[in-house]
Structure 1
Amino acid sequence: MPENASSLPALRWTVRPGVRTWRCAPAPAEVRDFHAALPGYAPTPLTELPPLAAELGVGRVFVKDESCRLGLPAFKALGASWAVHRVLAERTAAGSGPGPVTLVTATDGNHGRAVARTARLHGQHAHVFVPRGVHPRAVAAIAGEGAEVTEVAGPYDEAVRRAAEAAVTPDAILVQDSAWPGHERIPGWIVEGYSTLCAEIDEQLAARGVREGPDLVSVPVGVGSLAQAVVTHYRSPDRGRAPALLSVEPEAAACVLASLVQGEAVSVATGETAMAGLNCGTPSSLAWPYLYGGLDAAVAVPDSAGARAVARLAALGVSSGPCGAAALAGLHAALTGAGADERRTALGLDATSVVVLLSTEGTAANPHRTAE
């Protein structure tokens, strides 16, 4: 992924020494058992890519390939399935009527399709709000799951606001992965659902002889729910050596990076980006304490870097859309170019380090053209 150094702008990056000692409670153990019992469940591949390790000057690089998860081309089905299971179980326990409810959400694509698919499988309705910039084929895929789709002229945060307004009726439930005061329980269940991905990584690394876990995990970030799950997993008290955790965002929507720099959750104006699922202007209020407590570093990358990462992964046999490939784009930005030695040292990496990239979607999940 070479580029002329003289053409590169200053890297948007922040590092936070000392956070590896921060600890939090782990996700419930029963989440993995729930997913394992679902029809069609299988762990997604953890693919080792020695050429990337050689290029980046580390020992081993693995990619967690979420291009096919429970029949969908992204990891989001893990959170949606667990959250909807909890929602419906709670309604049954409370003696609510047997009639269907409408599961309402806003999405840049993958989460909305996962909610729509889960609703259909449970005999429920779904209403999905989609912001501007989402490709028509992604919108069609959500509608193809049987959901009512409302397209919003504004950005993601506006779609979230519209979804919240639509979910105030007694027969509607907001299943939103972003949280704010008053809407945190269901986003918490969604985050718990993502823990299965991390549990699989532990098992898969151990099977490859890596029993102490990775030295660094690179995770794409939108509102921060997946990153919260990653922090929760790798900062739990029962873990031994804690890895470095790197968050990656598009330059057009780097709300977590801005928040870490400010020391408090802030909103940013978002622009256009091919990384549509990461185009979020406000961190989840539920995720923020975990991101602030446990992220070692954050980096923002341009769409051009994401496109190169998509192409590099494709050349190595991994199907990854722009959001998923952001994990590689961010790691490449951190470990190459001016100041790379200092960043490598800050992340605790050397020639023996084990790195895991979370490729959160396949190319089918994001139909934007990414070749330059």
Structure 2
Amino acid sequence: MTDNASSPCTLPWFARPDARAWRCEPAPTEVRVFHASLPGYAPTPLTELPSLASEMGVARVFVKDESRRLGLPAFKALGASWAVHRTLAERAANGGEQGPVTLVTATDGNHGRAVARMAHRVGQRAHVFVPQGVHPQAVAAIVAEQAEVTEVAGSYDEAVRLAAEAAAAPDAVLIQDTAWPGYEQIPGWIVEGYSTLCAEIDEQLRAERVVEGPDLVSVPVGVGSLAQAVVTHYRSRPSGHAPALLSVEPEAAPCVLESLLLGAPVSVTTRETSMAGLNCGTPSSIAWPHLRGGLDAAVAVTDADSARAAGDLAAAGVSSGPCGAAALAGLRAALTGVGAEERRTALELGPTSVVVLLSTEGTAANPHSSH
């Protein structure tokens, strides 16, 4: 294992040489079938950007563009729709109350909006807790989905705590995209929902004659749920080509990076960042084993790194907010600058490599937000 703690001269970086040998169980195949049945479902674009491939010294770079997903500007609808579906089905099967139920969640924007949208679609109520610092347009977008919104004078972690308290009511259920001991089933369904994104990438790369799949996937990380889904997808294959998996966080909120460096999940004190949807202080309890075992590397980037990446993606025709652009910012941090050759070697990247960046949000409706 190699790792580097943050210092004025050292990139905030972690690498694990044996991650590609780690294995886990796959996501259920019925998730993709469910999503395909939803009104408005279509695979999101996988856009090739040759200019980035040239800059990074690899053969091909593709961006999975999640700026339009099931009518919303982020990938979050995949997890929210599957979790709401499973939650209500389980409630009915267990003889739960047949009257209206309130779906409660905490969010920095897009997850809460997705839960509110799905609640309205199935005739239920939504109550969304929003932490301090969320852009007013993101709050307004949640209100527009006919949800009750409670603004919290505190961090995302505090909003999660208050949402969990509110969901203790008999006619309420928590639909949260982070897990902790005692609350893991529904976050697990959310992670399963994200598997559709990875299945689409497989099909789209085959159409691009990339038969073996990518050599590196770069994924933005908040509490780690999307990264858990990505690790699950690529580490559940019994044999064959295994890509390197790179997680990217804000330097203001590097809870996964710090946990990996310490070898155990820890909470960090977060600071303000334009990557508000990644501004999370504690890794999800169900994500942690997958992140610890299956991530090849983790890096933290600055708001300026993300802003530059968002501008570059926009120039190439890809709408990406600060959180989505973190995937490119992290790739650039890993493959350029002081120590780049060592990091490139750790990721096993060369001039024939294929890279996929997960741009998790667009810029249109939820500025500065993804979680």
Shorter-chain TM-score tier: over 0.9
Instruction: Provide the residue aligned with 1:339 in structure 2.
Output: 339
**Corresponding position of 1:5:** none
Query: Match of 1:82?
Result: 82
Report the Cα distance in structure 2 between the residues aligned to 1:368 and 1:152, rounded to whole angstroms.
Answer: 17
Residue 281 of structure 2 is matched in structure 1 by: 281
1:226 aligns with 2:253: no
Distance in 1, matches of 2:162 and 2:140, equals 20
What is the rounded CA distance, in whole Å, between the counterparts of 1:294 and 1:238 in structure 2? 14
C-alpha displacement of 1:257: 0.1
Identity of aligned residues (%): 78
Q: How does 1:95-110 map to 2 (within 5 A)?
A: 95-110=95-110
TM-score (norm 2): 0.96
Aligned-residue offset at 1:238? 3.6
Q: What is the alpha-carbon distance in structure 1 between the residues aligned to residue 105 and residue 37 of structure 2? A: 25
In structure 1, runs of 5+ residues without a counterpart are 1-7
| 8 A Cα contact 2:141 2:365, kept in partner | no
Per the alignment, residue 247 of structure 2 pairs with 247
State the partner residue of 2:40.
40
Separation (CA, whole Å) in 1 of partners of 2:240 and 2:325: 29
Identify the residue that residue 25 of structure 2 maps to in structure 1. Answer: 25
The residue aligned with 1:259 is 259
Distance 1:98 1:283 in 2: 34
> How far did residue 306 of structure 1 move?
0.2
Q: TM-score, normalised by structure 1?
A: 0.96
The 5-angstrom pairing of residues 1-372 of structure 1 reads 10-368=10-368
The DSSP-based 3-state class of the residue aligned with 2:247 is strand
Following superposition, the deviation at residue 266 of structure 1 comes to: 0.3
Give yes or no for contact 2:320–2:363 (8 Å, CA) kept in 1.
Answer: yes
What's the counterpart of residue 3 of structure 2? Answer: none
Give CA-to-partner distance per residue, 1:247-300, whole Å, 9 cap, x none: 000000000000000000000000000001000000000100000010000000
Distance 2:129 2:150 in 1: 5
Residue by residue over 1:163-188, the C-alpha shift from the partner in whole angstroms, topping out at 9 and shown as x without a partner, is 00100011000000100001000000
Q: Distance in 1 between matches of 2:357 and 2:84?
A: 28
- Distance, in Å, in 1 between the alignment partners of 2:98 and 2:361 is 35
Task: Map Cα deviations across residues 308-341 of structure 1 (whole Å, 9 max, x no partner).
Answer: 0000000000000000000000000000001001
Partners of 1:41 and 1:311 in 2: how far apart?
A: 28
Cα deviations by residue, 1:142-169 (Å, 9 ceiling, x for unpaired)? 0110110000011100000000010001
Instruction: Provide the C-alpha distance between the structure 2 equivalents of 1:331 and 1:239, rounded to a whole number of angstroms.
Output: 26
Please state whether the residue corresponding to 1:47 is helix, strand or coil. strand
Secondary structure in 2 aligned to 1:248? strand
For residues 9 and 123 of structure 1, the distance between their equivalents in structure 2, rounded to whole angstroms, comes to: 54
SS in 1 for 2:64: strand
**1:185 & 1:65 partners in 2: Cα distance?**
28
Alpha-carbon distance between aligned partners in 1 of 2:173 and 2:92, rounded to the nearest angstrom:
14
Distance 1:304 1:178 in 2: 27
In the TM superposition, what is the alpha-carbon distance from 1:368 to its structure 2 partner?
4.4
CA RMSD of aligned residues (A): 1.1
- CA distance in 2 between partners of 1:180 and 1:365 (Å): 30
**C-alpha contact 2:277 2:368 (8 A) present in aligned 1:** no
Cα distance in structure 2, aligned partners of 1:239 and 1:187? 28
The aligned amino acid for 1:94 is: N
Residues 187-211 of structure 1 deviation map (CA, whole Å, 9 limit, x = unaligned): 0000000000000000000000001
* SS at structure 2 position matched to 1:364: coil
Give 1:9 deviation, angstroms: 5.1
After TM superposition, give the deviation of residue 99 of structure 1 in Å. 1.1
Cα 1:9–1:114 change in 2 (3 A) is farther
Residue identity matched to 1:350: G
CA shift, 1:95, in A, is 2.4
Aligned length in residues: 362
Amino acid at match of 1:102: T
CA contact (8 A) 1:322 1:366 kept: no
Secondary structure of the corresponding residue to residue 306 of structure 2:
helix
- Please state how far the C-alpha of 1:121 moved relative to its aligned partner: 0.2
